[in-house]
Chains A and B, each alone.
Chain A
Amino acid sequence: MTRTLWLGLLLVALIAAPLAIYPVLLMSILCFVIFASSFNLLLGYAGLLCFGHAMFFGTAAYVAGYLLKTYGVSVEVALIAGTLLSAAMGYVVGIISVRRSGIQFAMITLAISQFVYFLLLQAEFTGGEDGMQRIPRSTLFGIFDVSDHMAFYYVTLTVAVLAVAFFYRVVHSPFGEILRAIRDNEPRVESLGFRPERYKILAMTLSAGLAGLAGALKAMVFQFATLTDVSWPISAEVILMTLLGGLGTLTGPMLGAGIVILMNDELAQFGEWALIAQGVILLLVIIFFRRGVVGELSALWRRLRPSPDQNQDRG
């Protein structure tokens, strides 16, 4: 019961938030909440470290931007197109890389994302180094005008809520169970007659699709798409968000997205220190707090609660 209450309160807070906080900042956080969840699906639940997740994010941003600019498609069409294209990319990348062990998978996905980066750099439609500017926020369903920040905030919020609900459904489905089993003991899953590769490729596809959704949304929020969106620092940022918030926890990476975006916002005026701070935090999380903020808090919570739970936890 209390959980429903909390969720309700959170939703009310999110609906009211743009009254107090600059909507673009909020929308930016929401985009990264989706992006971080998509990354969490891979690393947290399937144990796959994709070091080039920005390729899905950035490509979808370009594609959505291109469709909006050139064909004036409506918002939902741009979102769906970005999502589907990234999902297809995720499927192909999955087929190429998923057979390799965890650490090589990370290196390969990073290399492929660099490949995508150079492709987009040379492609005509992306605007090369200049990027794609003045992407219009067209109408929703061809009817509703959502071009001002307030209106678009609610579009973003709706998309984010749907995306998180989808993520929740996936990790709590039998498919999600199998992914976790593969992460924990792949040979055993294989010996039970499953084919881990297929599940990993599907996870790549879903995750890339979600990342694409986040990217397409981002293109409309900021109304531009640039090479930064496909570059490795963005891949790094989503790794930091996920680890900082709590790998494999449902809400952790979303919280991590919020923290990192706000931190970048605060540190933007201090030049390189934003990047340095990211590195230091990532290092501290890896060495001392591998469960992340949410993971550590819930561990603390369990320790403070009466003992029966504790025993269960050990068993």
Chain B
Amino acid sequence: MFDGISTQLLFGQVLIGLINGSFYAMLSLGLAIIFGLMSVVNFAHGAQYMLGAFIAWGLLNYLGVPYWGALFIAPVVVGAFGLVMERLILRPIQNLDHLYSLLATFAAVLIIEGLVRQEFGSTGLPYNSPLPGGVNLGFMFMPWYRLWVVVFSIVVCFGTYILIEHTKLGAYLRAANERPEIVESFGINVPRMISLTYAFGVGLAGLGGVLAAPIYQVSPSMGSNLMIVIFAVVVIGGMGSILGAILTGYLIGIVEGLTKVFYPEAANLVIFVIMIFALILRPNGLFSGKEGYK
């Protein structure tokens, strides 16, 4: 098919790209939801993802709670943590320039990562796959767990998209995104809605962390490196665009995987190169036609 490149390698890397893309999509989705409503760029998103993974690890190793339990518990715990963060550090500065909320959530990253590293060290901790084995598709071997991650993340991403675009709850969110004070003048507790939305976005990051635990090593720095990539994804997809975040996430993951096949040296760089071109060619992001959720 391609000269000198086995289909095994090609599909293998596309799968890895799709896996990475699942995390890009889930994280940039949460980031976009939070940004849409609060105009906060949640720098702590990567750290919250890392917390999700650590909570899953802790649940298993200290309390014996298996993966499937952690899949529900960890996002809730991380979401609750988000509630506290919103109240303590975001609400006091909500009327200031949005650069401050970016910096405040960034400060939170230093603290969270520092504390976790102090407690668990810098090296990664192993987390065994809850779905060992896989299936031979003929052209490649597909591990069950990776298949699960891809399918589950697609369900979560598009479920969230439908929730926002096609439900009453989503209508509140879209309306508050446009004119929060008018929604509040209808008698809706918008401050609480903001807190819960932040918690939901953060919970998504925590869920991503649980999904990631069996694939990547559970380590304190797993979030911060990913975070910078997510920023690039969000810039490419258009800030605050829900669908843009999801599609760009998967797309970038696959492009990255393909780059590994054809030009491995550039695999780390390709996302940023795409971002730079996107900035030059599509100054408003690939998917953004107007302000607000789409």
Cβ of A286 within 8 Å of any chain B Cβ, yes or no, is yes
The answer for the CA separation of A110 and B103 in the assembled complex, in Å, is 13
Which listed segment binds A: B91-99, B146-154, B252-260?
A: B91-99
Cβ of B135 within 8 Å of any chain A Cβ, yes or no, is no
Q: Which of B92, B98, B102, B109 contacts A287 (CB 8 A)?
A: B92
Which partner residue on chain B sits nearest A107 by CB separation?
B231
Task: Name the prevailing secondary structure of the A interface residues.
Answer: helix
Assess whether B283 is in contact with A99, with CB atoms less than 8 Å apart: yes
Cβ of B232 within 8 Å of any chain A Cβ, yes or no, is yes
Which listed segment binds B: A27-35, A74-82, A114-122, A213-221?
A: A114-122
Q: Do A118 and B232 form a contact, CB below 8 Å, given A243-B103, A282-B103, A287-B93?
A: no
Assess whether B269 is in contact with A102, with CB atoms less than 8 Å apart: no
The bracket for how many chain A residues form the interface is 35 or more
For chain B, residues 238 to 294, give those with C-beta under 8 angstroms from any C-beta of chain A: 239, 265, 268-269, 272-273, 275-276, 279-280, 283
Q: Which of A102, A118, A272 contacts B118 (CB 8 A)?
A: A272
Q: Which of A99, A107, A112, A282 contacts B110 (CB 8 A)?
A: A282
0/1 interface trace, chain A 79-123, chain B, CB 8 Å (1 if under):
000000000000000001101101110111011101100110110
- Chain A residue numbers with a CB within 8 Å of B97 are 102
Q: Least Cβ distance of A39 to chain B in Å?
A: 13
Which partner residue on chain A sits nearest B117 by CB separation?
A272
- Chain A residue numbers with a CB within 8 Å of B110 are 236, 275-276, 278-279, 282
The answer for the CA separation of A214 and B40 in the assembled complex, in Å, is 32
Which partner residue on chain A sits nearest B90 by CB separation?
A287
- Chain A residue numbers with a CB within 8 Å of B118 are 271-273, 276
Assess whether A111 is in contact with B235, with CB atoms less than 8 Å apart: yes
- Chain A residue numbers with a CB within 8 Å of B279 are 96-97, 100, 108
The answer for the CA separation of A267 and B102 in the assembled complex, in Å, is 26
- Chain B residue numbers with a CB within 8 Å of A108 are 231, 235, 275, 279
The count of chain B contact residues (Cβ–Cβ below 8 Å) is: 42
The answer for the CA separation of A280 and B88 in the assembled complex, in Å, is 13
Q: Do A49 and B102 form a contact, CB below 8 Å, given A99-B283, A107-B234, A118-B268?
A: yes
For chain B, residues 98 to 151, give those with C-beta under 8 angstroms from any C-beta of chain A: 98-100, 102-104, 106-111, 113-115, 117-118
- Chain B residue numbers with a CB within 8 Å of A152 are none
Assess whether A283 is in contact with B108, with CB atoms less than 8 Å apart: yes
Cβ of B169 within 8 Å of any chain A Cβ, yes or no, is no
Q: Least Cβ distance of B212 to chain A in Å?
A: 20
Cβ of A159 within 8 Å of any chain B Cβ, yes or no, is no
Q: Least Cβ distance of B263 to chain A in Å?
A: 12
Q: Do A239 and B103 form a contact, CB below 8 Å, given A272-B117, A282-B110?
A: yes
Cβ of A167 within 8 Å of any chain B Cβ, yes or no, is no
Q: Which of B98, B114, B115, B224 contacts A232 (CB 8 A)?
A: B224
Q: Least Cβ distance of B98 to chain A in Å?
A: 5
Assess whether A112 is in contact with B283, with CB atoms less than 8 Å apart: no
- Chain A residue numbers with a CB within 8 Å of B9 are none
For chain B, residues 12 to 70, give those with C-beta under 8 angstroms from any C-beta of chain A: 39, 41
The answer for the CA separation of A97 and B283 in the assembled complex, in Å, is 9
The answer for the CA separation of A236 and B228 in the assembled complex, in Å, is 13
Q: Least Cβ distance of B40 to chain A in Å?
A: 9
- Chain A residue numbers with a CB within 8 Å of B114 are 272-273, 275-276, 279
Assess whether B234 is in contact with A286, with CB atoms less than 8 Å apart: no
Q: Which of B98, B107, B268 contacts A283 (CB 8 A)?
A: B107
0/1 interface trace, chain A 283-315, chain B, CB 8 Å (1 if under):
100110010000000000000000000000000
Cβ of B89 within 8 Å of any chain A Cβ, yes or no, is yes
User: Which of B99, B104, B239 gathers the greatest number of chain A CB atoms within 10 Å?
Assistant: B99
The answer for the CA separation of A278 and B107 in the assembled complex, in Å, is 8
- Chain B residue numbers with a CB within 8 Å of A286 are 89, 93, 100, 103-104, 107
Q: Least Cβ distance of A5 to chain B in Å?
A: 37
The 21 listed contacts between A and B (C-beta, < 8 Å) are: A49-B102, A96-B279, A100-B283, A107-B232, A108-B235, A108-B279, A111-B275, A115-B269, A115-B272, A115-B273, A115-B276, A122-B265, A236-B110, A272-B114, A273-B114, A275-B114, A276-B110, A279-B110, A279-B114, A283-B107, A287-B92
Apart from A100-B279, A102-B99, A107-B232, what 19 extra A-B contacts exist at CB < 8 Å?
A96-B279, A96-B280, A104-B239, A108-B275, A111-B272, A115-B273, A122-B268, A272-B118, A275-B113, A275-B114, A275-B117, A279-B107, A282-B103, A282-B104, A286-B100, A286-B104, A287-B89, A287-B92, A290-B96
A residues sitting closer than 8 Å to B (CB atoms) are: 49, 96-97, 99-100, 102-104, 106-108, 110-112, 114-115, 118-119, 121-122, 232, 236, 239, 243, 271-273, 275-276, 278-280, 282-283, 286-287, 290
**The 5 A-B residue pairs with the shortest CB-CB distance in the complex, in nearest-first order:** A279-B110, A115-B272, A276-B114, A279-B111, A282-B107
